Structure 1
Amino acid sequence: MMDESFTPGSDGPARDARHRPLFVVGVDGSDSGRAALSQAAEEAAGTGAQILCVHVRPQPSLCELTALVAPGAALISRDCRDIMEMQAWLDSVQILDPTGLPWEFAVLSGRPDKRLGEVMIARHGDALFVGQSLRPGRWSRLFHRCPARRLARSQEYSVHLATTAP
């Protein structure tokens, strides 16, 4: 279910040992997002964990904002974001429904690394699964701001990276 009004603190007090573990998965409709989702489903099957799929709609970049002066650019940008969200939801259904595991889908807006971290802390998640595409070339590491790499540096929670080839 898509929930634009999702608030990170919506699960109330911290879960105790009687409750299922919670795996938070960053999904974006990409191959790396599907890899993270598959990895989380595999591990959840062994532990009986609940899965929270989180799609973060990124804010428009400066380049996108300057392109908005072109007629129709805003509609195209919004349509692309809607397609990514729908693909993330469809991936979640196709991968998780056959497993029989309990899962939810939430949509947030903002920087993916910050929002996923906020959800992990607020919902007391046990593990965060995110995908990371390996990008060829020397310069790609300098210019691509990968949310997965930022999250992997976190000391506050467990981060599992699922990597895919370009």
Structure 2
Amino acid sequence: MGTIAVLAVALLLAAATGAYRLFSYCAALFIVANFAAAAVERNDGELNLAPYTWLLVGLAAVFVAGFSIIWLQWHPGVTDYTYVLGLPVSTLAYFVFLWLLPILGAVYYALVFPDIGSDDVVDDLMDDVRRVQGRKQLPLSVARTEPDGGESGGADPGGKSPQTDGGDRR
């Protein structure tokens, strides 16, 4: 989170001083750092980016390559552009490196890890959540959860809840 804070300050300073090339690179790193923070939070704060490591490296490489091509092709006084496939090179690089490749990377990642939405993964996540919540008193919870998973009382005066009544939690 400290890295994200430093990048946010760098973005503000780059925007305030008009350093737009620096701003674009910091923005790309800011986006990648946010994905990395999500991966770290998943692992109880340890610096373990798996299984996102190569996705983050690929996303950073694509952004840096895209911005480098754009900034190498663009200058304030340029009026004559080099065209590829009917588009100026900087526009094509913008489309391919900042839109198309990241989207294809997300699709590839979804295909490589099809088990993320499976019942086993969801059940494991729910078990972890219940285990962690069982150790804490949550201020807005309807019923206090005991460490063994039982309930010590509910909002219903009759003591009935969907869980004790045999109802499904989902």
Q: What is the TM-score normalised by the length of structure 2?
A: 0.26
Q: What is the TM-score normalised by the length of structure 1?
A: 0.26
Which structure carries more helix by proportion?
Answer: 2
User: Based on CA coordinates, which of the two structures has the bigger radius of gyration?
Assistant: 2
Q: Which has the bigger relative contact order, CA under 8 A and spacing at least 6?
A: 1
